[in-house]
Amino acid sequence: MNASVATLAETGEAQDQETRHQRLPSPVALRETLPLETGLQTRIRQQRQAVRAILNGEDDRLLVITGPCSLHDPESALEYGQRLAGLAEQVSDSLLLVMRAYVEKPRTTVGWKGLLYDPHLDGRHDLATGLRLSRELLRDLARLGLPLATELLNPLAASYLSDLLAWAAIGARTTESQIHREMVSGLPLPVGFKNGTDGSVTVARDAMGAAAHGHTHLGLDDHGHPALVQTPGNADTHLVLRGGHQGPNYQEEQVLAARNALESAGLNPRLVVDCSHANSGKDPARQPLVLEEVLRQRRQGDSTVVGVMLESHLNGGNQPLSESLRYGVSVTDACLSWADTEARLLQLARG
Ligand SMILES: O=C[C@H](O)[C@H](O)COP(=O)(O)O
Ligand SMILES: C=C(OP(=O)(O)O)C(=O)O
């Protein structure tokens, strides 16, 4: 018995505390409250197709997934979205801009878990409001005409949001999870598996192979009832290189090694490079350097990297959660400012 278990047992605390449950609306109920108009459903299907075309090498534009590390404030998220939607039109000949709209955050240990779980940012965990606010915000962003990207962290949360997405990520901490691979096998959208936090590309390669298969698994139906779920398999997955504990993994030889590993497993060799996280050492000033290297590889004719991810907000840097938050500044990882992001993307579009 380890020390903390012994302490809980000795004090009797473990026996006194009970796990509590509070009912939430089902995915169907929330979708009925916040429905998608037919025109928007059609547009999202087209956006998924546009992302697929890049990932399959049929469109040589660069896929750029950019936006805050996490959305914590609808007002600043919408302002970012409006600016990005304007820029997306200007650069659409060479770049497909997708907004990072992350409402769930995986944590290394503990920390704020995202708008969906704690929308008031105060530890009250008003999940009912978080689900509604997240769906409403993502729908408002989608109505700007932007394709949306998010990390799907809790498979139960995915059914509340997945109809709004053009692309989803499975994070470095969950790529190895069978539950996440099963979920992806049932999603009708392109999904990127991050390499593991230790830098392992193998877990993402295995995840792609597993998600391509149909699965039968235990889950919930859209009404929230326990269900035997049978999935068709998802052929539209790819690798996202995000660096690892040993450092970055976006250099030419690492991209080539990843490509070979994917090709020899019969999987899509085209991949996305996350310019943030362990590829930037979480220093936003390093994201443009990663972007530069990706461009260099593309300019010399290597078409392996077809997309990039940037963490970017209205204002640069980040801030701890407090009662007096600065507007448009990340409360999780540090971001590039909008001004820097816009300048880099315009430069990219000029070639
Ligand atoms: O993108 C955000 C973070 O890198 C990720 O959620 C882990 O954060 P943490 O290490 O601060 O918990
Ligand atoms: C947590 C994230 O990334 P990763 O899974 O690569 O750490 C993220 O993109 O927010």
Exposure pattern of 262-282 as b/e (b: 16+ CB <10 Å)? beeeebbbbbbbbbbbbbbeb
Ligand 1 proximal residues by C-beta, below 6 Å: 69, 105-108, 111, 277, 332-333
Residue 25 in this model has a pLDDT that exceeds 50: yes
Structural domain harbouring 235: 68-350
Note whether residue 96 is domain-resident. yes
Q: Is residue 125 part of a domain?
A: yes
193, 77, 76, 100: which is closest to 150 by C-alpha? 100
Per-residue confidence band for 8, with pLDDT thresholds at 50, 70 and 90:
very low
Kindly give the distance from the C-alpha atom of residue 327 to the centroid of ligand 2, in angstroms, as a whole number. 23
Indicate which ligand has the atom closest to the C-alpha of 242. 2
Reference 170, options 81, 274, 247; nearest CA is 274
pLDDT at 11: 53
Concatenated DSSP letters for 327-350? TT-BSSS-BB-HHHHHHHHHHHHH
180 lines ligand 2 (CB under 6 A): no
Q: Which of 103, 102, 115, 101 is nearest to 144 (CA)?
A: 101
pLDDT exceeds cutoff 90 at 10: no
Cα(245) to centroid(ligand 1), Å:
13
Ligand 1 centroid, distance to 13 Cα (angstroms) = 30
173 Cα to the center of ligand 1, angstroms: 10
Q: What percent of the chain has pLDDT over 70?
A: 96
Q: Which ligand does the CA of 113 lie closest to?
A: 1
Average pLDDT of 149-177?
98
pLDDT in tens, 315-339: 999 999 999 999 999 999 999 999 9
Mean pLDDT of 82-91: 98
Phi, psi of 263 (to 5 degrees): -60, -45
- Give the Å distance between the CA of 110 and the centre of ligand 1: 9
Are the C-beta atoms of residues 70 and 311 closer than 8 Å to each other? no
User: In this structure, is residue 23 part of a structural domain?
Assistant: no
Q: What single DSSP character describes residue 267?
A: S
Q: Is 335 part of any domain? A: yes
Q: Which atom of ligand 2 is nearest to the CA of 311?
A: 9
Is ipTM over 0.90? yes
Asked, for residue 50, whether it belongs to a domain, the answer is no
DSSP string computed for 27-64: HHHHHHHSPPPHHHHHHHHHHHHHHHHHHTTS--SEEE
**Which residue of 69, 71, 103, 105 sits with most ligand 1 atoms within 8 Å of its CB, as the best mutation to test the pocket?**
105
Which residue has a Cα nearest atom 10 of ligand 2? 69
pLDDT, average across residues 156-171: 98
User: Which CATH number is 112's domain given?
Assistant: 3.20.20.70
Q: 93-119: per-residue pLDDT in tens? A: 999 999 999 999 999 999 999 999 999
Q: Which residues contact 303 (CB under 8 A, 6 or more apart)?
A: 57, 60, 270
Distance 194 CA to ligand 2 centre (A): 8
Say how many domains are in the chain: 1
Instruction: Please tell me the distance between residue 107's alpha carbon and the centre of ligand 1 in angstroms.
Output: 5
- In ligand 1, the atom with minimum distance to the C-alpha of 332 is 2
For ligand 2, mutation pick of 108, 109, 274 (most atoms within 8 Å of CB): 274
* The pLDDT value given to residue 1: 30
Does residue 5 surpass a pLDDT of 50? Answer: no
132 domain-assigned:
yes
d(CA 36, CA 40): 6
Asked whether residue 178 is domain-assigned, the answer is: yes
In a domain, 286, yes or no: yes
Neighbours of 218 (CB within 10 A): 10
Q: Looking at ligand 1, which residue's alpha carbon is closest to its atom 2?
A: 333
**pLDDT band for position 15 (50/70/90)?**
low
Could you tell me if the CB of 145 is within 6 A of ligand 2? no
**Cβ of residue 172 lying under 6 Å from some atom of ligand 2:** yes
Judged against a pLDDT cut of 80, whether residue 182 lies above it is answered with: yes
The predicted structure's pLDDT at residue 2: 37
| 215 C-alpha to ligand 2 centroid (Å) | 26
